[in-house]
Structure 1
Amino acid sequence: MKETLQKYLPERSVVPVMGMIKAYQIQLKIVSQRQSKHGDYRLKPDGFHQITVNSNLNKYRFLMTTVHEVAHLIAFKTYGFSILPHGPEWKHTFQKLMLPFLNPEIFPNDLLPELARHFKNPTASTDTDARLAVAIKQYDKPNDKYFIFEIPLGSIFQIPNGRKFKRGRRIRKRYECHEVSTGKIYVFQPNAEVDLLK
């Protein structure tokens, strides 16, 4: 287990993460990339706790995703399964679990201020916190994708399912975009990753 986790986590976080996995008897599965989520938690019919985490995540996002899912397990165990998945009980649990990791021995100094801001009120996904998502992406392997906010007004782009859009104006924090085939307007987060076509 340790050798596997060393491939995916910051070095100083491996032992504490292993401690959580053992303490809660978690079956951790590292899986292929999923477009809709970075990880998930489920209580299996046999009573075991299973957490899956995408294999393509950089080590900082992998750590946050793992702790995010452990927080679900602990929050449900502590408060019952009737709580909201990302409600106040989960937020408090996630904050408490992440606190020991928020130090320069684990995260780079440039990420720590964004993490401190984010964990004052953590969101259901780091992807909905555009500032944090952009900061963490710099540690991903290079790819040919762009964030919506990086492409020029009027550019045509494609999302993973093949649909094409024309980038429109910024409305508050999001971007209004027109689907090329239908003309319908959709709103995108600034940190949505897309393929620039023209």
Structure 2
Amino acid sequence: MQTQIQDYIPQAALTKVLKLLEHDNLVVKIKKERKTRHGDYRPLPNGKHQITVNSNLNEYRFLITLIHEIAHFEAYKTFGRFIKPHGIEWKRTFQHLMLPFLNPEVFPSNLLPILATHFKNPKASSDTDTSLAYALRQFDEHNDKTYVFQLPLNSVFKLYNGKVFKKGKKRTKRFECVELKTGKLYLFNPNAEVEPLKEYHE
């Protein structure tokens, strides 16, 4: 696992990460891209615990996602299985585990203030923090993607699953978008990846 992990995270974080992973019952798997999540954690029936992280993440997002999932494991171990997945126990554990990494040896200096703000009250997904998600994207290999917040009002776009929507007005944090086939209204995270459509035919 050491050789695998070191290929995906900042070099300066490796020693601390390996220390956190020193559990006989903890298994880390690196997966192909999943559109709906960056990683996950689950206790297995055999008593072991499994963390998965997507292989396509840049090294800073990979590290944040990995620590996010380790925090689930630590919170489960400390507080038991009846806590809320992203409740106060997980938040405090995540903050505690992440603190030693929040330094200029691990993260670029322009990311540190944004990370400091995020970790005052970490969210269930870093994608729901628009500032952090946008800041992390600058380190992605392919930066030619389009996001909902970039599209003009009433633009038509397609999702990875083929569904087609029209962009509407912004509520407090999310955009109202109507699925053209069903007329149903959905709320979109500003950072949702989409494919703009110049023309749409039923």
* TM-score using structure 1 length: 0.95
Return the letter of the residue paired with 2:3. Answer: E
What is the rounded CA distance, in whole Å, between the counterparts of 1:44 and 1:178 in structure 2?
Answer: 39
Q: Which amino acid aligns with 2:129?
A: D
Q: Which stretch of the first structure deviates more once superposed, 138-147 or 61-70?
A: 138-147
Aligned-partner Cα distance in 2 for 1:52–1:174: 28
Q: After superposition, what is the alpha-carbon deviation per residue over 1:100-150, rounded to whole angstroms, capped at 9, x for unaligned?
A: 000111011111111101100001111111111111111112154211111
Is this contact kept in 2: 1:149–1:191, CA < 8 A?
yes
Letter in 1 for 2:153: L
Question: Superposed, which structure 2 residues align to 1:125-136 within 5 Å?
Answer: 125-136=125-136
Contact 1:157-1:165 at 8 Å conserved across structures? yes
Which letter does structure 1 place at the counterpart of 2:58? Answer: N
Q: Tell me the secondary structure at the aligned position of residue 84 of structure 2.
A: coil
Gaps of 5+ in 1: none
For residues 189 and 49 of structure 1, what CA distance do their matches in structure 2 show?
30
Contact 1:144 1:195 in 2 (8 A): no
What percent identity do the matched residue pairs reach? 55
Asked if the contact 1:111–1:135 (Cα under 8 Å) also holds between the matched residues in 2, the reply is yes
Partner of residue 196, structure 1? 196
Mapped pair 1:64 → 2:79: no
**1:67-111 CA distance string (max 9 Å, x none):** 111111111111111111110000000000000000111011111
Q: Which residue in 2 is equivalent to 1:6?
A: 6
- Paired with 1:130 and 1:120, the residues of 2 have a C-alpha distance of 15
Q: Which residue of 2 aligns with 1:178?
A: 178
TM-score scaled by structure 2?
Answer: 0.93
Partner of residue 139, structure 1? 139
Cα shift at 1:23: 4.0
Q: Secondary structure at the match of 1:105?
A: coil
Contact 1:145 1:196 in 2 (8 A): no
* CA RMSD across the alignment: 1.4
User: Could you list the runs of 5+ residues in structure 2 that have no partner in the other structure?
Assistant: none
Q: How does 1:60-139 map to 2 (within 5 A)?
A: 60-139=60-139
Secondary structure of 2:22 counterpart:
helix
Q: Residue in 2 aligned with 1:30? A: 30
SS, match of residue 183 in structure 1 = coil
Q: Tell me how many residue pairs correspond in the alignment.
A: 198
Matched position secondary structure for 2:35: coil
The one-letter amino acid paired with 2:17 is V
